[in-house]
Amino acid sequence: MTSSEKQLIDYTLKPTASSVIQLEIPFSSAGLRLDSALAALMPEYSRSRIQDWIKQELVQVNGRVLSSKDKVWGGEAVTLYPELHPAELPAVAENIALDIVYEDDSILIINKPAGLVVHPGSGNWQGTLLNALLYHAPALTHIPRAGIVHRLDKDTSGLLVVAKTLTAQTHLVRQLQARTVKREYLAVVHGVIAQNGRVDAPIGRHPSLRTKMAVVSTGRDAVTRYAVVTRFAKHTLVRCSLETGRTHQIRVHMQSIGYPLVGDAAYSRGRANDIPCSRDFSRQALHATQLGLVHPVTEDMMEWQMEPPADFAMLIDCLTTANIE
């Protein structure tokens, strides 16, 4: 396709759930099937996807509905009303309250509540932290992932840093890669841990349960340090520090050494417990309590601490009371 022919393509709208795409078939496509011509014009969509749109009569050529095998000769005006997958749609700003711990022109520190998904994904295409960030700071539209450089699981609460500029994002990513960002978590685990320790075990996708992670020889290196804070009758409150940042790292590592997190539906199933406050805790008992990093502009070392939310504090109080009794 020549440069002049490419200019004939007119995407009239940035894709949305109800997009209209208008384009003109270049004369270089003369004699091609309609689906082939469209696939050449829109390589971001598979031919089978385009064929589905044609079959569903979401494609009009000069105002008429054609079949995939009908030929085009160049110059035809094509209008598409594509049904896009949510992953293909741009994230939209949503007025979702944020608990902002710190903010300047370069970074934003958020205290994320349990239940808030960080980034849109399967089953959670809206109502995420990313959507909230776009509303709070519209300029983040121009930053990859709206400035998000690391994540917390949906049901993990606590501190998370967001970059507000490309320079800050690059700086923070390099700190994470160099393992100089300080991230500490509080966790309540099943079982009584005798002493502090370190887990150095690679983490990768579970070989049979694809929604889970596991310690596997083919995984990426992962290191977690843990220190006992309080021992209860059947549980332990620990402080975990990350040397790496793998998906579900603390949850997987603690489960791998026999101390799964309280409330973790994915990694502590079948763990019998007769203390109601532990048995009924509705999420994994994990809270990002401390975050430390070098400011990407001033180069100052900065740290933030955040006490656990009410549900976590109530769990600790309940276990303490049960311990006394």
What pLDDT tens digit does each residue of the chain (325 aa) get? 333 333 333 333 334 445 688 899 999 999 999 999 999 998 888 899 899 889 988 899 999 999 999 999 999 999 998 776 666 667 889 999 999 999 999 999 999 999 999 988 767 778 999 999 999 999 999 998 999 999 999 999 999 999 999 999 999 999 999 999 999 999 999 999 999 999 999 999 998 887 899 999 999 999 999 999 999 999 999 999 999 989 999 999 999 999 999 999 999 876 656 677 777 898 999 999 999 999 999 999 999 999 999 999 999 999 998 876 5
Q: Are residues 36 and 107 in the same domain?
A: no
Q: What integer pLDDT is reported at residue 91 of this predicted model?
A: 82
Domain edge (last residue) among 73, 88, 103? 88
Catalytically active residues are 153
Helix (H) or strand (E) holding 254: helix 249-256
Q: Are residues 29 and 139 in the same domain?
A: no
Kindly state the DSSP code that residue 68 receives in the 8-state scheme. Answer: T
Asked whether residue 273 is assigned to any structural domain, the reply reads yes
Classify residue 146 as exposed, middle or buried by CB count within 10 Å of its CB (0-12, 13-18, 19+): buried
Residues spanned by the domain of 245? 179-325
Domain edge (last residue) among 61, 88, 115? 88
Q: What integer pLDDT is reported at residue 320 of this predicted model?
A: 92
Domain edge (last residue) among 88, 103, 136? 88
Q: Are residues 243 and 280 in the same domain?
A: yes
Q: Are residues 46 and 95 in the same domain?
A: no
Lookup result for tokens 């026999």: 258
Note whether 263 and 271 are within 8 A (CB): no
The domain tally of the chain equals 3
For the record, the structure tokens of 222 come out as: 């992962």
For the record, the structure tokens of 22 come out as: 């208008």
What distance in Å separates the CA atoms of residue 65 and residue 55, rounded to the nearest whole number?
Answer: 9
